[in-house]
Amino acid sequence: MASKHTGHRAGVILAAIVLFTLLATQNVIAQTLQALHVFTGGSDGAKPWAGLTMDHAGNLYGTASQGGVDDGNVFKLTKSGSGWTFATIYSFQGDTDGSYPKAQVTFGPDGNLYGTTYAGGITDDCCGTVYKLTYSCRSVVCTWSESVLYRFQGGSDGSAPVGGIVFDSAGNIYGTTSTGGAGGCGTQGCGTVFKLTPSGGGWSESVLYRFTGGQDGGAPLATVTLDQGGNLYGAASSGGRNGFGVVFELSPSGSGWSQNVLYTFQNGNDGATPAASLIFDGAGNLYGTTFHGAPGRNGAVYELVRSGGGWTINVLYVFPSGTLFGPWASLLMDGPGNLYGTTYYGGRYHDGSVFKLTHSSGGWTERDVYSFEIYDGEIVYGNVVLDSNGVIYGTTYVGGSRANYGEVFEITQ
């Protein structure tokens, strides 16, 4: 017969085995994240605010809002065997060429890269640019060169673009500025929606709409989305009837554009401060996120559906209390219709997360794909992208190492 001591020892051993198994399982889960590049704050840049852009070959492009020469840079990660090779393809010098890029880059119809800088153009601090990066080769040497398409003046034309740009089928460029434009919103102005049109070998800027900060909204922080009819859709992070932001539509009207507010946020389950651009599904419904608000200041994911000549909101998910600040970036929809996104803070350790929303007949189910801790990344402003194998790529603004300059990450589901 086994003694009491023998039974006790067996219980301790069994508990240790269970604990080891749990820890091993946690470690396996943690190993699904790999840092493709950890920024040092030197010539490679620092603090990537925006998410990534993927080309047809699976290479990744992004911006670092600081570092480089001094004022941020554009970088590329190239698949190299089982690893990745990092290269800075352009470093902003400040002043005339721009500084502090906060938006992801976009491939234009000509195959070149386009983007915005938050500042620079006139001075290092004012007032932002729209730029193009052109790839060219001479003999065996290939380089990227920058040209500035437009320098914002900080007045009625707008200032401080945070979001990127989009192209229409004619090659025109659309985007937003977070300040400038009309009066209101202090002395800075409430932001604009702008258009750049090719003109005489250059580009001509026109302002499609100037926000007032009233019921029409103010301070758009992301770019606009085009539908097939040439209408523009976006979110303004402040203003509206309740002061918590709006979703708007801009439609061509005569020789100008008219604005229509599709939804005004209530700061209830719908949240407040929509900072992200919108995406469409195949049925023409819009999806977006709010940065905070809602019970616990945690943000939400929402859907806008056309209904009776207007739009009806469906709140798909409200982030739990303690998230602090939820999703800043836009959503990504995969082929089956699942939604992927990121939270600024949130996740198990309150350092940011990547989440997935899966649709079923009963609604939407949320799963944290990955919860960051400071040394594997912290604070996620940018959106994620997926490759053909379902691997997730993105950036963290800080963390990644004790140097705390951020990283580019890969998550295998």
pLDDT tens, 83-98?
Answer: 999 999 999 998 899 9
Question: Does the pLDDT value for residue 19 go beyond 80?
Answer: no
Q: CB–CB of 211/181 below 8 Å?
A: yes
18-37 mean pLDDT:
54
- pLDDT classification of 250: cutoffs 50, 70, 90: very high
23-35 mean pLDDT:
55
Question: Does the pLDDT value for residue 359 go beyond 60?
Answer: yes
Q: Is the peptide bond before 127 cis (omega within 30 degrees of 0)?
A: yes
**Least confident stretch, 205-219, 256-270, 284-298:** 284-298
Q: Which amino acid is at 54?
A: M
User: Cα angle vertex 247, ends 245, 250, to 5°?
Assistant: 125
Strand partners, 114: 106, 132
* Alpha carbons 175 and 125: distance in angstroms, whole number: 20
* Alpha carbons 30 and 33: distance in angstroms, whole number: 6
Each domain of the chain, given as residue ranges in start order, spans 1-31, 37-411
Q: What is the mean pLDDT of the chain?
A: 90
Question: Does the pLDDT value for residue 180 go beyond 50?
Answer: yes
* pLDDT for the residue 102: 98
* Alpha carbons 100 and 92: distance in angstroms, whole number: 8
- pLDDT classification of 18: cutoffs 50, 70, 90: very low
* Both structure tokens of 356: 């997935």
- pLDDT classification of 183: cutoffs 50, 70, 90: confident
Q: Which distant-in-sequence residues (6+ apart) come within 8 Å of 405 by Cβ?
A: 38, 39, 40, 41, 45, 46, 47, 67, 398
Torsion of CA 120, 150, 156, 183, to 10 degrees: -40
Q: CB–CB of 324/332 below 8 Å?
A: no
- pLDDT classification of 283: cutoffs 50, 70, 90: very high
* pLDDT for the residue 139: 82
* pLDDT for the residue 225: 98
Closest CA to 210 of 160, 257, 262, 163: 257
**Is the domain 37-411 a CATH 2.130.10.10 member?**
yes
Q: CB–CB of 176/224 below 8 Å?
A: yes
Where are the strands (E) in 300-362, listed by range? 300-307, 310-318, 332-333, 339-343, 353-360
Q: Which distant-in-sequence residues (6+ apart) come within 8 Å of 406 by Cβ?
A: 38, 39, 46, 47, 48, 64, 377, 395, 396, 397, 398, 399, 400
207-213 mean pLDDT:
96
How many residues can be counted in the chain?
413
* Alpha carbons 181 and 276: distance in angstroms, whole number: 20
Question: Does the pLDDT value for residue 413 go beyond 70?
Answer: yes
* Alpha carbons 325 and 300: distance in angstroms, whole number: 10
Judged by DSSP in three states, 251 sits in strand
CB atoms inside a 10 Å sphere around CB 312: 13
* Alpha carbons 201 and 195: distance in angstroms, whole number: 16
Q: CB–CB of 144/112 below 8 Å?
A: no
Cα 116 vs. chain centroid, distance in angstroms?
A: 13
Question: Does the pLDDT value for residue 25 go beyond 50?
Answer: no
Closest CA to 319 of 346, 339, 340, 344: 346
Q: Which amino acid is at 113?
A: L
Query: Can you say whether residue 347 is alpha, beta or left, with left for phi > 0 and alpha for psi between -120 and 50 degrees?
Result: left
- pLDDT classification of 80: cutoffs 50, 70, 90: confident
309-322 mean pLDDT:
91
* pLDDT for the residue 27: 34
- pLDDT classification of 308: cutoffs 50, 70, 90: confident
* Alpha carbons 198 and 205: distance in angstroms, whole number: 9
* Alpha carbons 374 and 311: distance in angstroms, whole number: 40
Closest CA to 41 of 73, 67, 61: 67
Is the whole-model pTM more than 0.85? yes
